Amino acid sequence: MTYQEAKEKIDSRLLFGIKPGLQNITALMHRLGDPQDKLKFVHVAGTNGKGTACTLTASVLQESGYTVGKYISPYVLDFRERFQVNGEMIPEEELAEEVGRIWPHIEEMDSQGQYITEFECITALAFGWFARKRCDIVVLEVGLGGVTDATNIIKTPEAAAIMSISFDHTAILGDTLEQITAEKAGIIKPGGRVALYPEQQPGVVGQIQEVCRRQGAALFMPDLDSIQAGNASIFGTDLVANGFSGGLHTPFLGEHQVKNAATALEIIQILRGRGFAIPDEALKEGFRKAFIPARMEVITESPLCLLDGGHNPGCALALRDALTRFVPQRKIAVMGIMADKDSRGFLEAVAPLFDRIVAVTPNWGRALPAGELAERARPFCRDVRAAQTCGEALAAAMRDMSQEDALIVCGSFYLASEIRGQLKGKMENLQAV
C-alpha cells in the first residue's frame, strides 16, 4: 500500500462523520491488542490552548531525554503532523504500514455494522505506532470534548490537563457552559492528577473540583502570582517565573500564553511527582524550542516575514495585537480566507494595518475567491489587488519590498499549507541579497 492509498482509505471514513462514543473504538483496539495499554500518557482537553500546552510539554520531555509521542488535532500543514515522535512526523511508508495493519479489522467491523470514523481510525493508528516506537510517554490531545472522544479509551494517565473552556461545538457538546465542562471533565480518571488552566469562566472550577472529588483525583491549579510576562517581541514572550533564574522564554505571543505556560509548568510538576526526571535546564530549553508551524511563525527576520494561519475572531485580534505592538514598519499582506469564515470580521480587525493587501484563492473547495475577498478588503485598505496563484500573489507583494518592510501571510491554514514552501524559498533568497 502506498502513502497516497493509505491516506485515501483514511479520508473515506469521513463518510461516517462524528459519532461520539467509545464502543466502536474500544472494539477496534481490542482487535489490535490494546496497544494504548502499553503506553503512558499526558491527556489534554479544553476549548483553547490545547495545542500550545501539548507542544510545550512534549518539547520539555524530549529535552529531558525521553522518547515522546505527540498526537494533535487538527494538523496545520501536513496530515502526518498528527503523529509525531520527538518532533518528527510519521514517515509516509510507516503510516501506510499502520493503515495496512488496521484496515482488515475496520473492513470486518464495517460488515458487522460497526462503522469506524476517521478520527477513530487515526487514533487507533496513533496508538499502534507509538507503541511500536516504544515511546516513554505520549502527549495526547483530545479531538472533541472529552467523555466520548476516541482518545478517552486510555486508562488513568500520568497527568491530565484541562485548558481554557468556552463555547464550542455546541451541537455536539451542549449549549451551556455546564454541559461543555462536563464533556471536557470526562477525561478525569479515578486516582488521576489534573492540571487546570487558571481564571476559568464562573462555575467551571467548582464543577471540575466536584468531578475530581468523585473520581478521587488530585487537582492542581497554577499560581499566577508565581509567573508573569516579561519582555515580549514578535519572536515570543519572556516569562518571569519563581525558581527559574534568568526566567523562561516561549516563542508564543499573547497575554493568554502566560496562562498556557503556567498550566504546562503544572503538568511538568505533576510528571516530576510521578518520577519523570525533568531538569530545570531541560524545561527552559523545551520552552524555548517549542514550535507550532503557521502560528505567528517568523519565516525570516530581515525583511520580516510572518506566517499566521489563524482564521477565527480570536486569532484575528491576536494578530492585530501582535502587529500593532511589534511590527511598526510598512506592512504588506498576502491574504486568503475560507468562504465559510467571518471574512468581514477578520478584515475589520487586521486590514487597516496594511499598506497593501494581495488577495489569493487558497486551493481548497471552500475558499473565498480572490476577487471577492479583494472587494471586501477595499473599504479597509487603500491598495488592494487580487492574484490568481500563490506565486503571483508573492510576486505582487514583494515587487517593491525593502529590507525594512514586513510581509504578513494570513487568513487561513489552507493558504499557509499551500504557500509555506514557496514563501520560505523566496524570503530566504531575498534575505540573502
Contacts of 150 (CB under 8 A, 6+ apart): 22, 25, 117, 119, 120, 123, 124, 143
29 and 172: one domain?
yes
252 and 363: one domain?
no
68 and 116: one domain?
yes
218 and 309: one domain?
no
191 and 241: one domain?
yes
Domain final residue pick, 258, 289, 320: 289
Domain final residue pick, 254, 289, 324: 289
Angle formed by the axes of helices 313-326 and 343-350, nearest 10°? 10
Give the tens place of pLDDT for each residue, 123-158: 999 999 999 999 999 999 999 888 999 999 999 999
Q: Is 125 helix (H, G, I), strand (E, B) or coil?
A: helix
215 and 320: one domain?
no
Angle formed by the axes of helices 177-184 and 204-215, nearest 10°? 40
Asked whether 322 and 234 are in contact (CB, 8 A), the reply is: yes
pLDDT at residue 278 greater than cutoff 60: yes
Give the tens place of pLDDT for each residue, 176-211: 778 889 989 999 999 999 999 998 888 899 999 999
pLDDT at residue 431 greater than cutoff 80: no
Residue 197 backbone phi and psi in degrees, to 5: -55, 135
Domain final residue pick, 289, 316, 349: 289
278 and 161: one domain?
yes
CATH no. for residue 17? 3.40.1190.10
138 and 271: one domain?
yes
- Which residue range(s) make up the domain with 318? 297-432
236 and 103: one domain?
yes
312 and 273: one domain?
no
Beta strands 297-301 and 227-233 are: unpaired
Q: What is the pLDDT of residue 72?
A: 94
- Tell me how many domains the chain contains: 2
Which of residues 271 and 47 earns the better pLDDT score? Answer: 271
75 and 149: one domain?
yes
